[in-house]
Amino acid sequence: MKIVDAKVIVTCPGRNFVTVKIMTDQGIYGIGDATLNGREKSVVSYLEDYLLPMLIGRDPQQIEDIWQYFYRGVYWRRGPIGMTAIAGIDVALWDIKAKLANMPLYQLLGGRSRDRILVYSHANGKDLDSTLDAVRKAKEKGYKAVRIQCGVPGIAKMYGIAKSNKAYEPADSDLPMEESWSSEKYMKFIPEVFDAVRKEFGYDIHLLHDVHHRLTPIEAARVGKDLEPYRLFWMEDPVPAENQESFKLIRQHTTTPLAVGEVFNSIHDCRELIQNQMIDYIRTTIVHAGGITQLRRIADFASLYNVRTGFHGATDLSPVCMGAALHFDYWVPNFGIQEHMAHSPQMEEVFTRAYEFNDGYFTPGEKIGHGVDIDEKLAAKYPYKRACLPVNRLEDGTLWHW
């Protein structure tokens, strides 16, 4: 069996998505997501100019060898652009292998370990009242777990809060917009938010929160401690994680569970965090961490230390990534939770899916492969449009983490 063609499809049905499509001499094809939010074209170039030409003539069944060829073989290892490109190829190859085996992908991975996949949705509001409304709406849709972000009095524009009534959308301007931040104002306000949410909705719902790397370790320790009475499912990305040692300090002070890793792209980025049991959930996802081939290794390694998965699943990860992630979640023994932000109807016209939502849980569907496909004709109607993530500054103008 041989790969006869491989291409990249870029489409913007409301936001930019990059899809790898690999064709074989047996008529079977596979697709993979290779979207890197705000830097999409750099992955497109890496694929088109380098990796895809090297695929032609190879046996698509040799997923492992192809992965090693693009990881070890290129000399320049790791990094978001390279690992996202590898993930796009890897998922397309797993899709092909599952189609060859005539199985849904989860069967090929080892079969399902659970009946259904718990997901969390987002509830954000510019103030407390609108945040409570958003939680109510998520509950009405059936979600059993909700990530809560709330505008902070005195901070004009901040991450995670939607503009007017639009869906929350961080990448929406041709050049980066500027947001602002005050750790002091945030730290004072955030326990009040969770207090109000628990008072209104009780404890029979999982609550999550994303700090988006904005605190120092000792500040994160305090927030974790202050939030303990509200029993969070997790506190996400409390500090930047380049320095994995930061988490030792946070861990000494709080029992609020920690989730980290959506910006990681290799097993080495999370090795110390996992092996020193400094986190509870690993968020590294298929598209940004070298595909199923590497993520399996990360999950197996994490399972040795009681760390469970909680994959990133924002809308900038295409339905192709979501489909593959749900097959992975169905199988992985140490599953924790899966993030879910609904794609728009326009996006779901371009990408057809087999996965289904029912009362707060997903199932990946029984379609062979990962069950997601792309309508290329429709995709071609939505040309790429540059959309940058914002930057973040402190009140005195200092450029800050975001």
Contact call for residue 210 and Co ion (CB under 5 A) = yes
From the number of C-beta atoms within 10 Å of its C-beta (0-12, 13-18, 19+), residue 392 rates as buried
Question: Toward Co ion, which CB reaches closer, 40 or 339?
Answer: 339
Q: Out of 35, 37, 265, 266, which residue is the one contacting ligand EZ4 (CB under 6 A)?
A: 37
Q: Out of 9, 54, 314, 388, which residue is the one contacting ligand EZ4 (CB under 6 A)?
A: 314
Binding partner of 280, given Co ion, ligand EZ4, none, CB within 5-8 angstroms per partner class:
none
CB of 23 to ligand EZ4, least distance (A): 29
List, in order, residues 6 or more apart from 242 with CB less than 8 Å away: none
Only one of the segments 54-62, 101-109, 312-320, 366-374 lies at the binding site for ligand EZ4 (rule: CB under 6 A); that segment is 312-320
Helix (H, G, I), strand (E, B) or coil at 310: strand
Tell me the number of residues near ligand EZ4 by CB under 6 A: 8
Question: What character string, x for contact with Co ion (CB under 5 A) and - otherwise, covers 251-270?
Answer: -----------x--------
Binding partner of 9, given Co ion, ligand EZ4, none, CB within 5-8 angstroms per partner class:
none
List, in order, residues 6 or more apart from 229 with CB less than 8 Å away: 195
List, in order, residues 6 or more apart from 34 with CB less than 8 Å away: 8, 18, 19, 20, 43, 44, 47, 84, 85, 87, 88, 89, 287
Location of structure tokens 């199932």: 363
Contact call for residue 33 and ligand EZ4 (CB under 6 A) = no
Distance of alpha carbon 343 from alpha carbon 346, whole angstroms: 8
List, in order, residues 6 or more apart from 203 with CB less than 8 Å away: 231
Phi and psi, residue 18, nearest 5°: -115, 125
Positions annotated as catalytic residues are 159, 212
Tally of residues, the chain = 402
Binding partner of 269, given ligand EZ4, Co ion, none, CB within 5-8 angstroms per partner class:
none
Contact call for residue 179 and ligand EZ4 (CB under 6 A) = no
CB of 340 to ligand EZ4, least distance (A): 11
Residues found near ligand EZ4 in the complex (CB under 6 A): 37, 170, 210, 212, 262, 312, 314, 316
